[in-house]
Amino acid sequence: MDALVQFTNQSQGKDRIFRATQYACALSVYLLRSSDRRDVAAKLKSLENSMSTGRKLLRLGNTVNAIDAAKRTVRLSDRVLCLCLTLANANRALYFICDNLLWARSVGLIRHVDKERLNLNASRFYFYSLVMNLTRDLYAVLQLMMQKGRDAHLKEKMDRHLNESPEVAEVIVPQLDAFVFLLIESLKSHPAVALDTVKNICDLFIPLDKLGFYKSNAGVTGFCGLMSSLISILTLARPGLRLKP
């Protein structure tokens, strides 16, 4: 089992590159939709499909990986982090179970499963996992802002900022201005939190569209998927930019 976990961890980079390619193709197909380059669009569409199928195979070990992660996060001493991350990982594990069954069905290993329902459940679990991840991001941001709010040095800077632009402070409520100032300072000092939040928001558009909560189009989901994959690749290449635990 440990070897499997280790192997799937190692294949994360490959999966991210395939995912970036998959969504880049989806976005290009969308952008080419009204031009007469139908041949190119058809090739890109088939590349997109093979990336998606290839990734399903790479994801076979991910259920074990997600359960393993959940076992680790359940021991976190911070109650909020423990709850958010364990629920996120549990939902991720359920998502991968659906995903693996879909793969098994697509290669003919199993037959008697309802593909539509599995697809819907996969999107649902993925969505819950993202919502828990975003709750955790919000918690991290609020913690940072409270920390910054107590920082005397930053308070001085904030007062100066509010005095320098009194028109802004008058038009917009001063509290709101101070809030935005603190928010920006917090995100600037911890880019890992900012990146994780942007990544999770981008990812959210995909299940929102599939579940019909918010219908966007193939262009939006392609763009968001590409953005989130690129951020993932960045955080794999630069572990300092990854949000921990």
Ligand X SMILES: *[C@@H]1O[C@H](CO)[C@@H](O)[C@H](O)[C@H]1NC(C)=O
Question: Contact 231/199 with Cβ under 8 angstroms?
Answer: yes
Question: Which 82-101 positions form the footprint of ligand X (CB under 6 A)?
Answer: 88, 92
E strands, 40-168, are none
**Residue 41: what are its φ and ψ, rounded to 5°?**
-60, -40
Binding mask 167-206 for ligand X (x = CB under 6 A): ------------------------------------x---
Smallest distance from ligand X to CB 1, Å: 18
Packing angle between helix 174-189 and helix 152-164, nearest 10 degrees? 130
Residue (67 or 172) nearer to ligand X, CB = 67
Q: What are phi and psi of 125, to 5 degrees?
A: -65, -40
Q: Output 110 or 142, the one with its CB closest to ligand X.
A: 142
Shortest Cβ 136–ligand X spacing (Å): 7
- Per-residue DSSP letter, 188: H
d(Cα 221, Cα 202) in Å, to the nearest integer?
8
Instruction: Compute the distance between CA of residue 143 and CA of residue 5 in angstroms, rounded to an integer.
Output: 32
* C-beta of 24 vs 69, nearer to ligand X: 69
Contact 234, 218 (CB under 8 A): no
Q: Which is nearer to ligand X, 28 or 86 (CB)?
A: 86
Binding mask 113-152 for ligand X (x = CB under 6 A): -------------x--xx--x-------------------
- Which residue type sits at 65? N
215 burial type by CB count under 10 A (0-12 exposed, 13-18 middle, 19+ buried): exposed
Asked if 19 interacts with ligand X (CB under 6 A), we say: no
Which letter, b or e, does each residue of 156-175 get, where b requires 16 or more Cβ atoms within 10 Å of its Cβ?
eebeeeeeeeeeebeeeeee
Nearest distance, CB of residue 126 and ligand X, angstroms: 5
CB of 232 to ligand X, least distance (A): 9
Binding map of ligand X across residues 33-72, x = CB under 6 A, - = no contact: ----------------------------------------
Residue with Cβ nearer ligand X (24 or 88): 88
Q: How far is the CB of 130 from ligand X (least distance, A)?
A: 5
Q: Which residues contact ligand X (rule: CB under 6 A)? A: 88, 92, 126, 129-130, 133, 203
